[in-house]
Structure 1
């Protein structure tokens, strides 16, 4: 990864976060909780994938329709997140695999 890739990635992230900050306060709070959840246990391809921008798209559509954020995702943010990544390999899966291995075996 070259310096240009890093600069471009930062530009894209700033543009993404500008879209988040344009959302109503309740949407921003829920987005930050979703983001925190995904950064802890989320899919391995989270940085390069379309998941977070897709959530912002979904939220923008909800705002345009005049719906509250909990009308869109329900009351359980973690369940909503788990449903989004149910078919993806997650950091939690990798951790479980690493601790369930035989004692004394090194991971490659």
Structure 2
């Protein structure tokens, strides 16, 4: 695969590089728990590549908007994503694309990451001393 082909694929996934960098900078400024949740959803959304780079960039910018507003309002993460983070992310992604295939392990990782960000015990941590 040539560098041109690779850059086309990357642009389709993340959108224009300048917009991607701006999005990442915004997420980096979020409070830790909101940043953790936004990054977990971002990883999950990578499985839902919109059909064009503008839609992809808009999807991630809207994700940043959502978590910036939640952080500013003091909204708990669970009030943002609800009880099923995978369902939330899939519904969010459907606003931008037809969706993709998400393996069960990816769904579980998202759920675990959101539980950690929300301050909940996932039951997956080693409890030995």
Q: 1:89 aligns with which of 95, 98, 111?
A: 98
Matched, 1:10 2:9: no
Matched, 1:67 2:71: no
- Once superposed, what is the RMSD of the aligned Cα atoms? 2.6
Alpha-carbon distance in 2 for matches of 1:69, 1:14 = 24
Tell me how far 1:74 sits from its aligned partner.
1.3
Alignment partner of 1:91: what SS? coil
Matched pairs, number: 87
Structure 2 unaligned residues grouped into runs of 5+: 5-10, 102-129
Tell me how far 1:55 sits from its aligned partner.
1.2
From the superposition, tell whether residues 90 and 26 of structure 1 become closer, same or farther in structure 2 (CA, over 3 Å): same
Q: How does 1:1-108 map to 2 (within 5 A)?
A: 9-40=16-47, 42-45=48-51, 47-49=53-55, 50-86=58-94, 88-92=97-101
Runs of 4 or more, structure 1, over 6 Å off, are: none
Q: Which has the larger radius of gyration?
A: 1
Structure 1 unaligned residues grouped into runs of 5+: 93-108
Alpha-carbon distance in 2 for matches of 1:43, 1:81 = 13
Alpha-carbon distance in 1 for matches of 2:18, 2:66 = 22
Tell me how far 1:46 sits from its aligned partner.
6.6
